[in-house]
Amino acid sequence: MRYFAAVLLFLLAAYFYFYFGFYGSNWILLQPFLLALLLLYFNSNSPWFYYSFALLAGLFVDSFSGIFGLHSFTFIFIIFILKNLQLSIFTSRNILTVVVLSIFAFVIFYFCVYLIHFIFVGDFYVFSGRLFGQLAKMAGWGILIVAILHILHFNFWVKKNEEQPF
Amino acid sequence: MIRQNLKIFFLFVLIVILLLLFKNGRIFDIGFVFRYWFAPSLAVNSLFEPASDLTEEYKELLVENSALRYLEEENAELRALLNFQNTEKNQLVLANVINRDPLNRNILIIDAGSRDGLLEGQAAVVNDGIIIGKIIDLGYDFAKIRLLTDSFSQLPVKIGNHRVSGLLSGSLGLGMELSYIPQDQEVKIGDLVFSAGLDSGVSSGLIAGRIEEISFSPEEVFKSASVSPIINYDTVSILAIVTSL
């Protein structure tokens, strides 16, 4: 079941990635693959499973972007940091933890993208107030989506079928 | 647990590094596998299938019609580029836009690179010679195009038939600003702006945009103008790189 859900999430993320990328202008900042990765991470307890998903999702995005390896490394690094935070500081299971870790994920994502782009291309992005606003808005939407889907999954699936992963 | 997490993290980072080395050493490119199976045009076309309450035959016809329209548009774009190549005696390399930069919509990523003979600074054109940007970064099988509307874009241009010169630069990714137009030179709203050919890699006479608004004050040495692109850059899916002038 979880493999089916992972494939479905991957395909949905790919759909929205192309759809937003080509037609939705600023909606690409929603980062569909990051949302899919977070959802899978919060709802799975097998590190091999979500690390593999992070690798595949990253490689997929890298195939259509300028710096090969950027997203792969970023996604794996995000999972690594979130897992460490969960094992050390944010050990509780509530929705606030999910929201806080999602915020961390978005911050790490943009930080890595900026840093790796700067190191390997030697160019830097211009973070205008407008772009910051859009990033914050889309990150907010992303976190909201992750939180809602996580709650839905917990209430309608985990409670009835299995134990919550963390 | 933290130690185990660290081990798995390093293992996956190692896999990424290996794949990166394989790709750069041209041994195996996993990106090609994804690009082959998830070609954007195929994925995008499949998004626009009609609603499911229509009859099966009607659905098939609509899909076919949609595909033919897409082909017609693609054909018109390619024909215009071919015409440009023949009339101007330019050598062109055709390329598909495969993505945009995640943080800067004014940078396009195309599926042609150094293996196709591209060089940094070469002009990207569409239709009958409308310049939309220049190559700023190259890989073996991809290149990055900075659109003229990007804040860092600069292009020496001439205006209309008057041989007036100026410098065209991007304006916050939305439009373009034309500066350093001598005060004594006459320019009008609606004048076309052409590349001046002063940049290496960009031939002269490529259409860059149209003047929308002119601003000047008697105290200043130069006039400035707002320039709008001839085409909507958001809809560009096929372009050509001018490889020889």
User: Out of A152-161, B122-131, B149-158, which region has the weakest mean confidence (pLDDT)?
Assistant: A152-161
Q: What amino acid occupies position B118?
A: L
Q: What is the pLDDT of residues B116-137, one digit of tens each?
A: 889 999 999 988 788 999 999 8
- Span B90-245: which CATH code? 2.40.10.340
Residues of chain A contacting residue B30, judged by C-beta atoms under 8 Å apart: 59, 63
Number of domains in chain A: 1
Instruction: Return the pLDDT at B245.
Output: 61
Query: Is residue A164 pLDDT above 70, yes or no?
Result: no
The closest alpha carbon to B99, from A131, A116, A114, A66, belongs to: A66
Cα–Cα distance between B58 and B206 in angstroms, integer?
Answer: 44
Other beta carbons within 10 angstroms of residue B6's beta carbon come to 13
Distance, C-alpha B41 to centroid of its chain: 16
Closest chain A residue to B22 measured between Cα atoms? A68
| CA distances for A164 relative to A45, A93, A161, angstroms | 9, 9, 10
pLDDT > 70 fraction of chain B, expressed in percent and rounded: 88
Rounded to a whole number, what is the distance in Å from the CA of A64 to chain B's nearest CA?
6
Of all residues in chain B, the one with the smallest CA distance to A58 is B16
Query: Where are chain B's structural domains?
Result: 90-245
Which residues in chain B have their CB less than 8 angstroms from residue A126's CB? 104, 151-152
Rounded distance between C-alpha atoms, residue B208 and residue B228, angstroms? 9
Mutate to test the interface with B, among A20, A29, A65 (most CBs of B within 10 A): A65
pLDDT digits 0-9 by tens, B160-206: 876 788 899 887 667 898 888 888 888 888 888 988 888 887 888 88
Q: Cβ distance A49 to A40 under 8 Å?
A: yes
Task: For residue A85, tell me if it sits in a domain.
Answer: yes
State whether A60 and B38 contact (CB < 8 Å).
Answer: yes
Amino acid at B243: T
Closest partner residue to A21 (CB to CB) among B16, B32, B99 is B99
Q: What is the ipTM of this complex?
A: 0.84
The answer to whether B201 and B119 have CB atoms below 8 angstroms apart is: yes
Which of 154-213 (B) contact A at CB < 8 A?
Answer: 172
pLDDT digits (tens, 9 = 90+) for A104-139: 999 999 999 888 888 887 777 777 777 788 888 889
Q: Name the band, by pLDDT with cuts 50, 70 and 90, for residue B138.
A: confident
CA–CA gap between residue B121 and residue B27 (Å, rounded) = 29
Contact residues on chain B for A58, CB-CB shorter than 8 A: 16
d(CA B206, CA A110) in angstroms, rounded, equals 37
Greater model confidence, A76 or B3: A76
Mean pLDDT of chain B: 81
Residue A166: inside a domain, yes or no?
no
B114, two tokens: 């150094």
* Residues in CB range of B61: below 8 A, 6 or more apart: none
Average pLDDT over residues A24-49: 86
The minimum CA-CA distance between A40 and chain B, rounded to whole Å, is 17
Which residues between 67 and 106 in chain B have a beta carbon less than 8 angstroms from any beta carbon of chain A?
98-105
Q: Do A84 and B136 touch (CB under 8 A)?
A: no
Contacts with A52 from chain B: Cβ below 8 Å? 12
Question: Model confidence over B47-80: pLDDT tens digits?
Answer: 444 445 556 677 677 777 877 887 887 777 777 7
- Which residue range forms the structural domain that includes residue A140? 2-161
Residue A10 lies in a domain: yes
Domain membership of residue A149 (yes or no) is yes
β-pairing, B175-182 with B222-228?
Answer: antiparallel
